[in-house]
Structure formats: C-alpha cells, structure tokens
Chains A and B, each alone.
Chain A
Amino acid sequence: MEIKVNRDSLFKSVSKVQSILEKRSNMPILSMILISADDRSVNISATDLEISMQQKIEANVITAGSITISGRKLFEILKESKSNDISIKEKENNWVFISDDKTQYNLACMSAEEYPVFVEPEDVDMVEMECTALADMINKTIYAITLEEAGYKLSGVYTERIQREDAYFLRMVSTDGHRLSLSDKQIDNLDKIKMDKGVMIPKKGLLELNKITSEGEKISIGFKENNCVAKNENSLVVIRLLESKFPDYREVISIDLKNSVSLNRNELFDGMRRMMILSSESSKGVQITLQNNIMELVSINPDLGDVKDHIKIDYPGEMVEMGFNSKYFVDVLQSMESENVVICFNDNSSPCMLRGEDDKGFLGLIMPMRI
C-alpha cells in the first residue's frame, strides 16, 4: 500500500477513531489503527471488538492495500507534523514508512491480516434520521445509565420501535433502578427496518454515536443480528449490542399521577444545584414541601449544616412532602430545554414525572427517597 493524503483530514479521522482503542488491552492488535486503500479512497478503522468505527477520506492512492499502525503513535506523528501532505508506504515485514516534507519515520507494525474483521454493513436495512434528533435522544437518556442493578445489566440504553396510530417512533429508555428517562422521536420509514424487539445499546457506543451526529445533518441507522449500524457520508460505526434484560418499564411510566405543578425549569434547576452544595455521598437528599403556592426545598447534611430555598408556584392544594436525590433532578432538568417544567406526583412513595412542552416525547421519572 502507498498513499499520499492531506494531513488535516487524516488527523481529523484518526482523532475520531482513536478514542475507541483500548489503552490497556491484552491484544496488541487492538491498539492499532487499520488503514486500507482501494482505488479512490482510504478507510481509517479502529475497533475494541465491541465498537468499530470507520472514517473514509479522500487520498491519492498510489498502490492499494492495507496496513496497521499504532493508533497513539500515528496520532502523535500527525499532531507534530506541520506539513500539508503525508505519505504512508508499506514496506517489507510489516514495516511502515511515514514521511512529510521534513521527517521520515520507520515504524514496526502488525500485519493487516490479523486485524479483527468488520461487520459488512451493506445488507443492513437503514433508516435516515436527523442528527439533532438522535443527539437529543442520547443526551436525554445517557445520564441515567448504570452498571448493574438488582440483577439487571443496565449499562446501556434500551432502544425500541413503537407505533402510535400510523406513526412510528424510535424510543430510548434508560434507568438505574431509581430513576428513568425516556425519549420518543417520530421517524419516517422506521417501519422499513428490521427491529422486531428492543435492543440495548451500550454507553460507550452511544458516546461514539453522539460524536458522529455532529458531522452532518442526517444519519442512517439500522440493526442486524447483534449489531447497531450507523453511518453518514464518511463515517461508519458498528456497535455490538448488549445481551441483557431490561426491566418492564411500561408499567412504571403508565402510573396514574393525580397532582401536577408547573414551574420555571431554570428556577428549579438553580434551587436543586444549591441543595447539592451541602450534599455528600451519603446525603444527597432534598426535602420538597408543596404548600400555599410555595415549593420549599430543604437539604440537611449532618456534618455541614442545612440549606433552605423556596420557589413560588401555583399550587393551592393539600400539603405534600417528598424526599428526593437532588442530583437526579439536576440531571433531568439539565437535559431539558423547555422554559417550564411540569412535575406530576402522588405522594412520598410514588415516582414523580417531569415533562416539558418543548421537550416533546421526553419524560423523566424519579423515585423518592426516605429522608
């Protein structure tokens, strides 16, 4: 293989894929980046066996072929280079020669044949969606992911297709057992892809997906066997799905909540942030009291002291006292955009639900804590 390529575009691609690389893997090949050139273009690929990412760049291909280079070393070489173009040439016995106007590197590399095989994405049914929609769904669910809870592996976002009348929605749900976040987006032609049951997309994969949503306006996604495939013009991400049970969340989101109160999202966000000043690992609790059109927030830390705040609301109903983890409120409110947030609740032993007019298809559920 021999190519001549623009340094900036190669550097950009390498930066994107190298975050996947295992820093401490016992398989040396997984610290390598695969560069493969056909007649017109060059693919830069990396994988940790769970996630594979490929970036396509334009290049002057002198000889087609494939090589591997240490991801970190290639990144550093490109970072230190001041030239416009870089030449990469395969030599005998897996040596690779890299040069720009000034510097020549000879690198001992590994055979491209040893590189783990990529899933062929050609025969996957894909559906196109707005990048902003996907990014929004990820940002509104990713914070509630946890590692393990009560026998469930919850280290990903549960993703499924739902149908309401004639419309199809992509749904992402995350939970750590104490709170749950759900985001629905209507997507045209979602019924055309194969997605019979819900799947679990791991957190690391979602972070990579989120990265490529910043590259353009549209992104195509699809599912095949145990993989989620996402691509745009120049990027391809293949994520191995988690094999795990997700709890039956439908029951908890359909709970009948009798009371509701609407208030300014930022005011509540700021109030909860103030509660967190005194919170510690052991006491994140905030006591919310609703009474006489006032929402009072109180947090007590036995080691430090206490904090009290209040927000004017429209709530003439009966007094209600509920305890919550203030961090959970901050996470949800931070991910939302609406000016006002509507909180629905029953009492101090059922969940409260947060929604907002400009956060269509989103709901956040938070279970109380005994304080």
Chain B
Amino acid sequence: MDIEQSKIKTIIHLDMDAFYPSVEILDNPALRGKPVIVGGNSKRGVVSSASYEARKFGVHSAQPIAQAIRLCPQGIFLPVRMARYKELSDQIFAIFHRFTPLVEPLSIDEAFLDITGTERLLGEPVAVAKLIKKTVLAETGLTVSAGVAPSKFVAKIASDIDKPDGLTVVTANGLTAFLDPLPVSRMWGAGKVTQDKLERYNIKSFKELRLFPVKTLERLFGKNGVRMQLMASGIDEREVVTGHEAKSIGHEETFVDDINEIELLERYLLELSMKTAERMRHMGLKAKVIHLKVKYHDFTLVTRSLTLDDYIDDGMVIYMTARDLLGKTEAGVRPVRLIGVSVSGLNTDGLSGQMSLFARDNKKEKARNLNRAIDSVNKRFGEKGIIPGRLLSD
C-alpha cells in the first residue's frame, strides 16, 4: 500500500470542545470559567463530560461521580440534558452538511468530513476548516476543534492536539514529521495492556513503532500489530461512512462494578435496545441482524448474533432477541463488565414496505405508530421522556 498510489484524501475531524459543559455554560453564562461537570444522576453514575476548568482537577469522562466529587468538591455538578444537546448537535451537523454530504457522525459532538476534491468550490482545506469553525461559533456560540489530514486516524489525532478551539493541519508531506514524535498512547486501539507490552519492547513513540520489524509486531500483537504500524506510518485507508451507509448501529455500556445479576443485565439490555431502536428510526433505517456483545470481568469478549426474517426498528424486538442471545452467554455465571447491543443488515425504511398477510401486521403497525409517538415525546422532553416501566426502578 503506497500512499502515493491512491488518491490523497482530505479529511477533517471536528470535535466539539467539552460539548455538554459548554452547552450548559452557553445557557447559563454565570458558569463561565467554573469547573462544570455533567454526569449521571445516581450514585452509580459516571461523568459524561467536564469543562476544561474541571479537568485541571483530574476530572474526566467515564469517571465515577463519587470520585469526581472527591477530586473537585467545588465543582458544579449538572445532570445530562440530552434533548438540549441534541438540539444543538442537529444544528451543528446541519452546518457540516453545508460543506459536504460525506459526514460521518462518530457521536453527538464529533464527526469526520471528507472534503476531498472541494478545493475549487470551497478553497484550501485550511480555509474550509476555518470557515466551519467560524460558522459553528457564529451560529451556536460553541467552539469546535478541527484536525485536517489525509486520513481519518491522523485527522482525529490532529483535532485533539490543540484543544480547545484548535486547528491542526497535517499535509501528506508532513505526515512523518507529525506522527513520529507522538507517544504510543495516542495509538487507536492500543489500550493499557498493549501500551505496556509495546513499552517492554522499548516502543514508546510512533517512530519506534513505524521502524519496528513488522514480523515481530505481527507475532506479538497479531493483525493488530500490523495495523498499528500502518497507522503509525500514516496509512489509513478507511473511508468516511455517512449515516446512510452505516454498517451497524448500536449502544454499549461499561459498568462501574461488574454485574452478576442477569435481571440487572436485562434491564441494561432493554435500555440499550430502546436507544438503538430510537437511533434507527431517527436515521430512517431498519435492520435484520441483532448482535449482542458481552465483555466479562477478565476482558474476554464474546459476541452472539441472530438474523431475523424481517427488517425491524422496534426496540422491544431488539430487546427480546438480545435477551435470548444473552442466554447463550455465560452472563450470570461470569461477572460482566460491558454489555452492548447493535444491529446490522440495514435497510432504508421505505423499501421494506412488504405487507403482512396476518392480523399481526396490525400489531406491527400499532407498534410503529407508538414508536413514532414516543420518539417525538422524547425529542421534546429528552431521552427519558417515555421509557419502559422496567427501567424506572433506578
């Protein structure tokens, strides 16, 4: 894979700066300059996002709220107002779409844009990134950091280099100079275990990773080793995948404490299924394959999946299937650290308009109308406007 051979792409990674706290500050300017921490409402909850002021105290996302309170007792702790964040997110994504249809959302506040070949229309990539940042700030009052690079991986690193309100450009010629000094902790897919292992072989920087014998890397890390070396050399051929072409949609949850009780896992499963279905309906997609992912306490990962006969977008169907799949794992016997639900085999809503012969179709029709109603309520009142009763007991 020679980088010169394939057409050089121009990718922009856009990442909102401390999105949730920034929205809170936007709505209540008195909070500006203060350590704002947005997170779960219960004791089991974790930090969703913290303002830069709070981060100075060591508060970071996915940290238990209790720990954040200890680290930063003067912090202003606010509940997650998803509906409001979504509203702004929709505005921001609408701005992205003015520049290119090739927008791949990574999350509510993060996206890849492929602007390859738009120079004539929009000008130099740097100018485009500047314009996007300016437009987002002007129309929403929020800042976004941008990374411009020939690949997704490098663009994502670049956007993170100069946060907040940053703009980092890496050209094809400047790739090596940019990547070489980076520590391996920046490597995508290299967790603590991998990092420690790399360190044992004295690989601390991307340069050392790039120059290491590939055979040895493959022996040590398998395919992942080869992939890491390619990434460290700036080679990442992944395309920007727009929502419409998304291969799968899903949600997962990592627990603060490992879970043994199957009932509790099922409740999480229900919540994740409902969220997944809501997103599918939002994107106008239906799916045929349901996947369940279970990570046990010792980090071993198992997946189970089932292909349905019909395309569906109903959370209850996803949940029932995922629950059956859960029965095929060792959940309940081995403590579970993470659980995830996803769907694939996606199809746009309108095309699978096949009607059913039997009265149950009416039931499906009713479920569809109900789901639509729930979605619109949730859109107005936040994600938890209407939820299954089972999820209320928290």
Q: Which residues of A contact B (CB under 8 A)?
A: 146-151, 175-180, 247-249, 251-252, 281-283, 285, 323, 325, 349, 351, 365, 367-371
Contact = CB atoms under 8 A, between A and B. Distances in A.
B358 A285 contact: no
Contact of A149 (B309, B348, B351, B359): B309
Contacts of A370: 350, 353, 355
B354 to A, nearest CB: 4
Given A150-B360, A178-B357, A282 B352 contact: yes
Contact of A248 (B352, B355, B358): B358
Contacts of A147: 309
Interface of B: 308-310, 347-348, 350-360, 363-364
A203 to B, nearest CB: 14
B321 to A, nearest CB: 10
Please indicate which of the listed interface residues B347, B350, B354 has the most CB atoms of chain A within 10 Å of its own CB.
B354
Contact of B357 (A146, A177, A285, A369): A177
Contacts of A323: 353
A176 B358 CA distance: 10
A178 B358 CA distance: 8
8 contacts: A177-B357, A177-B358, A178-B355, A178-B357, A325-B354, A351-B357, A368-B355, A369-B352
B310 A149 contact: yes
A352 B224 CA distance: 54
B355 A367 contact: yes
B355 A283 contact: no
Query: Which 3 residue pairs of A and B lie closest in terms of their CB atoms, listed nearest first?
Result: A370-B353, A369-B354, A367-B355
A282 B357 contact: no
Contacts of A151: 360
Given A146-B309, A147-B309, A150-B364, A178 B356 contact: yes
B355 A349 contact: yes
B356 to A, nearest CB: 5
A247 B359 CA distance: 9
A179 B353 contact: no
B348 A178 contact: no
A180 B357 contact: yes
A177 B355 CA distance: 9
Contacts of B352: 282, 369
Given A176-B309, A178-B354, 10 more contacts: A149-B309, A149-B310, A150-B356, A178-B356, A178-B357, A249-B357, A282-B352, A283-B351, A368-B355, A370-B355
Contacts of B358: 150, 177, 247-248, 252
Please indicate which of the listed interface residues A178, A180, A247 has the most CB atoms of chain B within 10 Å of its own CB.
A178
A285 B358 CA distance: 20
Nearest to B358: A247
A371 B348 CA distance: 12
B309 A369 contact: no
Nearest to A146: B309
A370 B350 CA distance: 8
Contacts of A371: 353
Please indicate which of the listed interface residues B310, B357, B358 has the most CB atoms of chain A within 10 Å of its own CB.
B357
Nearest to A328: B354
Contacts of B355: 178, 349, 367-370
Contacts of B360: 150-151, 177, 247
A146 B308 CA distance: 10
Contacts of A325: 354
Nearest to A149: B309
A367 B354 CA distance: 7
Contacts of A369: 352-355
B345 to A, nearest CB: 9
Contacts of A248: 358
B325 to A, nearest CB: 14
A281 to B, nearest CB: 8
A180 B351 CA distance: 21
A349 B348 CA distance: 21
B354 A282 contact: no
A150 B357 CA distance: 11
A32 B348 CA distance: 47
Contacts of B310: 149-150, 177
Contacts of A150: 310, 356, 358, 360, 363-364
B356 A177 contact: yes
Contacts of B347: 281-282
A249 B359 CA distance: 10
B287 to A, nearest CB: 12
B309 A282 contact: no
Given A148-B309, A150-B364, A282 B356 contact: no
B384 to A, nearest CB: 29
B353 to A, nearest CB: 3
B372 to A, nearest CB: 16
Nearest to A255: B357
B308 A179 contact: no
Nearest to A323: B353
A179 B357 contact: yes
A233 B363 CA distance: 50
Contacts of B363: 150
Nearest to B306: A148
A160 B180 CA distance: 74
Please indicate which of the listed interface residues B350, B356, B358 has the most CB atoms of chain A within 10 Å of its own CB.
B358
A370 B360 CA distance: 17
A146 B354 CA distance: 15
A229 B233 CA distance: 67
A351 B353 CA distance: 14
A248 B357 CA distance: 10
Nearest to B356: A177
A183 B356 CA distance: 20
A150 B347 CA distance: 19
B351 A282 contact: yes
Nearest to B363: A150
B356 A285 contact: no
Contacts of A146: 309
B288 to A, nearest CB: 9
A285 B352 CA distance: 9
Nearest to B345: A281
B357 A365 contact: yes
A328 to B, nearest CB: 9
A333 to B, nearest CB: 18
A20 B356 CA distance: 33
